């Protein structure tokens, strides 16, 4: 297999709308070093989320849909930092912050293939039955790479500056993937989880991509005119 050319992501290329940037992150590599252990994953599935006032229409599925709060503060900050939030009180999920400062946006890392540091990822994810399951889903991904809420919320994936015993770096493909799949986001309630927001992007056929499920009420709404990422 030919080696894929990668380069560090820049802040400037993350200043646009998350829905536009998200496909560009497929095939990107996230490397974390947590408590001295390094893990690298290749992103195979991502989802875009906009905040209040971002883009041409409200995003009812976003944590930032109502404006800034203590929970979503990182989303309103400098692009390239990672918004690490807690889902269902137990799972730390990882997002890349996008857009200019003051405009909230994030790209959720939904699934990935662990390509380096399998031993560390496996110790963090002892329930994983196969290697493909190590980072198959956002909570599993967060645990596999070792990033935790609240310790690592806001960590900088552009500079790699350490925070709370961890560092993170994001490298993107020099040449974006030519063919990707897109559709509704997973498990988002109401219209925010329908074809009205086809902001989930994935590498078709990749075995690490997570299974799709409708959010509460989304299947019934089915794309009617314009509820969360939990």
CATH of the domain at 152: 3.10.300.10
Residue 163 lies in a domain: yes
- What residue numbers bound the domain in which 190 lies? 6-211
**Does residue 29 form part of some domain?**
yes
How many structural domains compose the chain? 1
In a domain, 224, yes or no: no
pLDDT score of 226: 36
Which residues in the chain show pLDDT less than 70?
A: 1-2, 222-230
Q: What is the pLDDT of residue 224?
A: 43
Q: What pTM did the predictor assign?
A: 0.94
216 found inside a domain = no
The predicted pLDDT at position 3 comes to 74
Query: Residue 142: helix, strand or coil by DSSP?
Result: helix
Write down the pLDDT at residue 120. Answer: 98
Q: Nearest 5 degrees, angle CA 95-CA 98-CA 103?
A: 120
* 220 domain-assigned: no
Query: What are the C-alpha distances in Å from 5 to residues 2, 8, 39, 198?
Result: 9, 11, 19, 28
Residue-level pLDDT at 220:
80
Residue 214 C-alpha from the chain's centroid: 18
Residues 6+ apart with CB under 8 A from 125: 133, 134, 135, 140, 143, 144
> Which residues lie closer than 8 Å to 75 by C-beta, 6 or more apart?
51, 63, 64, 83, 95, 97, 104, 105, 106
> According to the model, what pLDDT value does residue 93 have?
98
Residue 110 belongs to a domain: yes
Residue 145 in domain? yes
pLDDT value for 2? 58
Residue 155 lies in a domain: yes
Closest CA to 105 of 229, 221, 225, 230: 229
Q: Given this model, what pLDDT does residue 178 score?
A: 86
Nearest to 186 by CA among 155, 124, 229: 229
The whole-number pLDDT of residue 131 equals 96
């Amino acid at each position: 297999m030919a080696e894929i050319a990668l380069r560090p992501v820049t802040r400037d290329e993350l200043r646009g709308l998350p829905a536009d940037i998200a496909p560009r992150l497929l095939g990107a590599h996230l490397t974390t070093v947590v408590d001295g252990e390094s893990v690298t994953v290749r992103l195979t599935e991502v989802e875009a989320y906009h905040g209040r006032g971002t883009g041409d229409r409200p995003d009812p599925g976003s944590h930032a849909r109502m404006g800034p709060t203590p929970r979503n503060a990182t989303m309103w900050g400098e692009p390239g930092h990672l918004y690490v939030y807690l889902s269902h009180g137990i799972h730390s999920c990882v997002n890349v912050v996008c857009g200019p400062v003051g405009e909230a946006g994030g790209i959720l890392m939904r699934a990935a293939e662990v390509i380096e540091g399998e031993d560390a990822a496996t110790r963090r994810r002892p329930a994983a039955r196969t290697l493909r399951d190590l980072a198959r889903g956002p909570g599993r991904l967060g645990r596999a790479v070792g990033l935790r809420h609240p310790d690592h919320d806001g960590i900088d994936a552009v500079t790699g500056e350490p925070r709370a015993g961890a560092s993170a770096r994001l490298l993107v493909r020099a040449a974006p993937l030519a063919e990707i799949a897109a559709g509704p986001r997973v498990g988002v309630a109401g219209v925010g989880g329908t074809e009205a927001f086809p902001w989930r992007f994935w590498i078709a056929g990749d075995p690490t991509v997570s299974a799709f499920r409708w959010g509460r009420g989304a299947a019934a709404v089915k794309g009617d005119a314009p509820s969360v990422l939990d």
